[in-house]
Structure 1
């Protein structure tokens, strides 16, 4: 049974660089989409419950036009259970997929794992998004790892904004958002993310001049209940590093 926790409390990331994917907790589909360097294009839906999808006769999959992605973003995706998709560039490429490739997509949506790393030149896809109870367990493949670093740096700042609306200690001027953490600073924790790292928003520390967001290495998890158990032990120890925001300069830095 899932532990009842504040959904904004932390972000867990495990990076598998060899196979170009992350496993995460704490970032949902809306936050993911808002944090990407470019807006999402058309989405090929592998597992979903979206009633506004269209049907592609060649692949027998449903899809969402780029202009309708906004409607999907308004859905309560966590209620879908499984939610799996892959972006694609144009319909011609979708209609060129062969039987083997379609079979790979079926396996991908069913098992949430690849037969081969799921990037197809015919689709020119940047992402493959596989979630169960969206935000609780998300497995995302990135064609370009820089997209992941950009997404995470933006998502952390967004979630700090949620906390600022709930807690008085984030004393930025009202209406002033936290700027994204630069992707180069996110990347400085790559080794920790390869082991499995938590970014703890609830343990963030504030002084008059700065905000410190701590991170802990907790290990490689698929079961998020087990991840929380390890986090509950680790946060009692000194963090493995910080993302630090300077209130005066509005700039980020990192410390180990």
Structure 2
């Protein structure tokens, strides 16, 4: 527990996560498509259920748009520049799209409209790894994982990217490549899965303020109904005691 309440400027990044293990789903706030692109090995193609990308290809069988991996940077820009719902599932080849049954197509349309599956979010024909569902306001992103172990890797990669970008420009951390801060171990987040089932806020402390360490603070905050109010009251939230912390000690060159 901190000796005195922390201020919001003590942190440079926050991420809210609520996990439903039974549904193989994680609800994020403070996490967008650009973050997703940087944090995972992206699938080959995305079937776009709701989207702002005007240059998408059109599949005649489903009457739905899709985008290939070569277009992901344009898709990211379109998502950033326009207010729009953004929902997709991944697939490997257009042959899979052309094999979708009427029932599967109906379930996909429901998924994009209601932001929840009729039955399973994973389709036999598509063999999709993810379902990505985001609202127009960008306050939340719901992601279904075929394999939940990918959640830990996603979070670890996300914060590793932020830490490296942040510390690269600071004199204290400016080192040769061999001294590059190592990746956050995904096992750290596997341990937090139970806490995530209650809703957690992960907060990355400003390295300039923590000096010899890099610290990711964990607070159990519960399931949030209104994300806009949650972020408005962030100052009050971060005064709550920590549930845990993940620390990189530069002298020992390791995470703990």
Range into which the TM-score falls when normalised by the shorter chain: 0.7 to 0.9
The range that moved more, 227-236 or 53-62, is 227-236
Structure 2 residue runs of 5 or longer lacking an equivalent are 1-7
Match of 2:16 in 1: 12
Shift of 1:90: 1.4
Range that drifts further, 38-47 or 157-166: 157-166
Report the Cα distance in structure 1 between the residues aligned to 2:135 and 2:253, rounded to whole angstroms. 36
1:226 aligns with 2:229: yes
1:29/1:179 CA distance change after superposition, 3 Å: farther
5+ residue gaps, structure 1: none
Conserved? CA contact 1:78–1:133, under 8 Å: no
CA drift of 1:219 comes to: 0.7
* Residue of structure 2 equivalent to 1:196: 199
* Alignment partner of 1:207 out of 211, 214, 217: 211
Cα separation, 2, equivalents of 1:134 and 1:243 = 31
Contact 1:245 1:251 in 2 (8 A): yes
SS in 1 for 2:123: coil
State the match for 2:172 in structure 1.
171
Given candidates 38, 49, 60, the residue that maps to 1:34 is 38
Question: Cα offset for 1:157?
Answer: 1.7
SS in 2 for 1:121: coil
Separation (CA, whole Å) in 2 of partners of 1:184 and 1:64: 32
Task: Give the corresponding residue for 2:253.
Answer: 250
* Relative contact order, higher structure (CA 8 A, sep 6+): 2
| Residues 44-53 or 68-77, more deviating | 68-77
Relative to the length of structure 2, the TM-score reads 0.86
What whole-Å deviation, never above 9, does each CA across 1:113-136 have from its counterpart, x for those lacking one?
A: 111121112111101100124752
Aligned to 1:130: 133
State whether residues 54 and 64 of structure 1, in contact with CA within 8 Å, keep that contact through their aligned partners in structure 2. Answer: yes
**Distance (whole Å) between structure 1 residues aligned to residue 125 and residue 184 of structure 2:** 33
Matching residue of 2:100: 97
Matched, 1:217 2:220: yes
- CA RMSD, Structure 1 to Structure 2 (Å): 2.5
In 1, the alpha carbon distance for the partners of 2:223 and 2:173 equals 35
Residue 240 and residue 214 in structure 1: after superposition, are their counterparts in 2 closer, same or farther (change >3 A)? same
- Contact 1:50–1:72, Cα closer than 8 Å, also in 2: yes
Structure 2 CA distance, aligned partners of 1:175 and 1:102? Answer: 52
